[in-house]
Structure 1
Amino acid sequence: MNLHRTLPATLAALAALTLASGAMAQTPSPANTVPVKNIVLVHGLYADGSSWEKVIPLLQAKGYHVTSVQNPTTSLDADVDAVKRTLALQDGPTLLVAHSYGGMVISQAGDDPKVAGLVYIAARAPDAGEDYPALTRRFPAAPASAGLQWGADGYGRLSEQAFLHDFAGDLPETQSRAYYAVQQPMGKAITMAKTTVAAWRDKPTWYAVSTEDRTINPDLERFMAKRMGAQTVEIPASHVSLLSRPQDVASLILQAAAGKSAG
C-alpha cells in the first residue's frame, strides 16, 4: 500500500464527510416528532385575543386544546409573562403560534420545555438581542407605520385610516371597523424591547408570509422566515390573514401540530 497516496485521499474524504455533516446539522428539521395536544395562540399589537376567533374553532374541530392569550401589550416582559402563565397551565407538549408582534413574545417565551414548535403568522422574528426597528429599516417602510399615533397617556394606537386600509385592508368594512373598535393600545416600552432568547434557533418553526401586508414588509417576513429555516407558506392576504384567510392559517397550524412540512 502506498501511504503517500492513500493518506491524502483519506483525509480529503474525512474532510468532505465533516463538511457534509456540518451542513446537515445546520439544516432545521421540518418535523416535530413530539405529539402536540395543546395550541397556544398569541396576538399582536393593536389587537387582543379575539383576533383568533375564526381560527380557534377550526383547530378545536380537530381535537386540539386551544388557548388564546390576552397580552397586555404594555411591555415585552409583561407579554412574555402572560404567555408563560398560560404555558404553565398546559398539560403536555404545546405548539406556540403568534401573529405580528406576538412573534417577539414567542421567540422569548418559546424556550419553555413544553413548547414543541413555533408558528409565525406575518410575525416578527428577531434574533436574540437584535434591534428590530433597525432590522425593519433594511426594507422599504410598511405604510401602516405612518399611521401610528401617540397619545398623552404614552400609549400608541393606529389611526382609523391606517387600521382600516393598511392593517386590516382585506376585511369587509363592517368587520374591519368592528376590529378597530377593540384596538388595544401599545406601551412605548415595546418600541425599545429586545428579546434575550431566539427560541426559533432550537425549535421547529413554521411561517406564513402575508403577500399583501402593509404593516410588515412581506420581503422582511420572507427574510425572517428564511433566516430561521422555517417551513414557509405564502398567503395572499393583508397583515390580518388570521381573520381574512382563517382556513389557510389554520391549515399551517395543523400541519405544524402534526409535525409536517408546510405545503
Structure 2
Amino acid sequence: MSGSDSQRKSLPTIVLVPGMWHAASAWDAVVKLLEADGFPCVPVTLPGPGRAGGDATFHGHRDHLERVLTGVAGDVVLVGHSYGGAVIGEIRAVPAVRSMIFVAAFCLEVGESVAAVNDAQPGSDAGASAIVRSGDYLSMAPETAKEAFYHDCPPAVAEQAVASLTPEFHDTRTTRATRAAWREVPSHYVVCTQDRAIVPDVQRTLAARLDSVREIDSGHCPMLSQPGRLARIIADVAVRTTRQ
C-alpha cells in the first residue's frame, strides 16, 4: 500500500448532522468534496415528517444519531450544524467519536435549550417570532427561511434549499440539554460572521466554550454558500484532532 493509500485508509469518518428543518442533502456539496479527499462520510437525516422515520423529538434525534454511530467503523469526527450541534452534544459515551465540529451551532451546557440561547439576544431572523407552530410541529414561511438561512447563497441553491425544508417537532427548540459531550473530546467552532439566524455574537459566546475556533465570512449555511471553504476547515480539524 502506498503512503497516500495508507493515509487515506487512516482518515476518520465524518458524520454530518443537519440543522432544524433540514435533511442530509444539505451536506451534499461538502460530502462530495470530503470524499474526493478520501474522507468516508455519513450525512445524517434525523427523524421527522418527510424525512427519516422514527421518534422526531430531541431525545429521539439523539437516539437516532447514536444508532447511526454504532454502524460506523473506526474513528469518527462529528459535525453539527445549527440545531445539529445540540444533538451531537447530547450523545452518551461513544468511544469512536474523537472530536466534534460545531458549524454556527448550539454547543449547549447542561440545562440550556436552543430556544433559551437563541432567543436571549435580539437580532435573530429565525427566533421565536419567525417560527410558525401548527399542532406539534414548527415551520417557517419560505421567504422568512430564505432571508434567515440562505441570503448569501446563489438564488437557485436558495430556492432548492427552501423547497426541501420539512416541519420540526416543537420540543427540539425547548428541551434542555442533559449532557455536554463536547467537553469530553477536542471540539472546534466555526463562526459564520454574516449569520442572520444565530447572530455572530451568540456564536462567539458559544465558541469560547470550545478548544478552537475559526471564522468564515458566510451566512447561516456555509455548506451551501461556501462548501469548498467549509470542507477544507472540516478536513483540517478532523486530521489535526484525530492524530492527537
TM-score, length basis structure 1: 0.81
1:180 maps to which of 148, 151, 162: 162
RMSD: 1.7
Gaps in structure 2 of 5+ consecutive residues: 1-9, 49-55
TM-score if structure 2 supplies the norm length? 0.87
Q: CA deviation at 1:184?
A: 1.6
Q: Which moved more, 1:88-97 or 1:72-81?
A: 72-81
- 2:45 is aligned with 1:70: yes
Query: Aligned-pair distance for 1:67?
Result: 0.5
Q: CA separation of 1:132/1:178 partners in 2, compared to 1, >3 Å: closer, same or farther?
A: closer
- Deviation, 1:215, is 0.6
Letter in 2 for 1:252: I
What is the aligned partner in structure 2 of residue 252 from structure 1?
233
Could you say which structure has the larger radius of gyration? 1
Q: What is the Cα deviation at residue 166 of structure 1?
A: 1.4
Q: Distance in 2 between matches of 1:103 and 1:131?
A: 11
- Structure 1 residue 80: deviation in Å? 0.8
Match of 1:133 in 2: 115
Whether 1:241 aligns to 2:216 is no
* Displacement after TM superposition at 1:252 (Å): 1.3
Unaligned runs of 5+ in 1: 1-34
Partner AA of 2:220 in structure 1: H
Compute the displacement of 1:55 (Å). 0.1
Which residue in 2 is equivalent to 1:197? 179
Equivalent residues, number: 225
Q: Distance in 1 between matches of 2:92 and 2:161?
A: 28
1:179/1:132 CA distance change after superposition, 3 Å? closer
SS in 1 for 2:67: helix
1:83 matched to 2:58? The reply is no
Q: Residues 143-170 of structure 1, C-alpha deviation per residue, up to 9 Å, x if partnerless?
A: 222321112x421111111111111111
Structure 1 residue 131, shift from structure 2 partner = 3.8
Residues 158-190 of structure 1 deviation map (CA, whole Å, 9 limit, x = unaligned): 111111111111112221111111102110111
Tell me, yes or no, if the aligned pair for 1:95 and 1:117 is still in contact at 8 Å. Answer: yes
Q: Secondary structure at the match of 1:143?
A: coil
Q: Is the 8 A contact 2:186 2:241 kept in 1?
A: no
8 A Cα contact 1:111 1:197, kept in partner: no
Q: For the Cα contact (< 8 Å) 2:125–2:147, is it kept in 1? A: no
Task: Find the aligned partners of 1:122 and 1:110 in 2 and give their Cα distance.
Answer: 22
